[in-house]
Structure 1
Amino acid sequence: MIKNEWNKGDKVAVLDDAMEGVILAVKKDEITIETTDGFELVFKANELIKLGDTSEIAQASKYSDIEKAKIQKVTKNHHKVNNEKKSKKEDFVLEIDLHIEKLVKSFKHMNNFDILNLQIDTARGQLEFAIKNRIPRIVFIHGMGEGVLKEELDFLFGRYSEISYQDANYRKYGLGATEVFLKQSSLL
Structure 2
Amino acid sequence: MRFKIGEKVGFLREVGGGIVQSYKNDQIVIVEDETGFDREFLVEDLNSIVGDQSDILSSSFDIKDVIEETVSYGKDLGDITRNKDFWEIDLHTHVLMESERGLSNGQLLSHQLLEFKRFFRKGREKGVRKLVVIHGVGEGVLKSEIRSFLNGKEGIEVYDADFRKYGKGATAIELFYR
Q: TM-score, normalised by structure 2?
A: 0.52
SS at match of 2:89: strand
Aligned match of 1:122: 115
Aligned match of 2:147: 154
Residues 67-96 of structure 1 show CA distances to partners (whole Å, capped at 9, x for unaligned) of: xxxxxxxxxxxxxxxxxxxxxx99421010
1:174 to 167, 170, 174: 167
Larger relative contact order (CA 8 Å, sep ≥ 6):
2
Q: Does 1:97 align with 2:80?
A: no
Q: Name the aligned partner's letter for residue 113 of structure 2.
A: I
For 1:145 and 1:174, locate their aligned partners in 2 and report how far apart those are by CA, in whole Å: 12
Q: Name structure 1 gaps, 5 residues minimum.
A: 1-88
For 1:123 and 1:159, locate their aligned partners in 2 and report how far apart those are by CA, in whole Å: 17
Q: TM-score, normalised by structure 1?
A: 0.49
> 1:164–1:180: 8 Å Cα contact kept in structure 2?
yes
Q: Does 1:142 align with 2:131?
A: no
Q: Name structure 2 gaps, 5 residues minimum.
A: 1-81
> 1:90–1:136: 8 Å Cα contact kept in structure 2?
no
For 2:150 and 2:90, locate their aligned partners in 1 and report how far apart those are by CA, in whole Å: 16
Bigger-Rg structure (1/2) = 1
Cα shift at 1:184:
3.4
> 1:100–1:107: 8 Å Cα contact kept in structure 2?
yes
Distance 1:90 1:104, change over 3 A: closer
For 1:184 and 1:90, locate their aligned partners in 2 and report how far apart those are by CA, in whole Å: 19
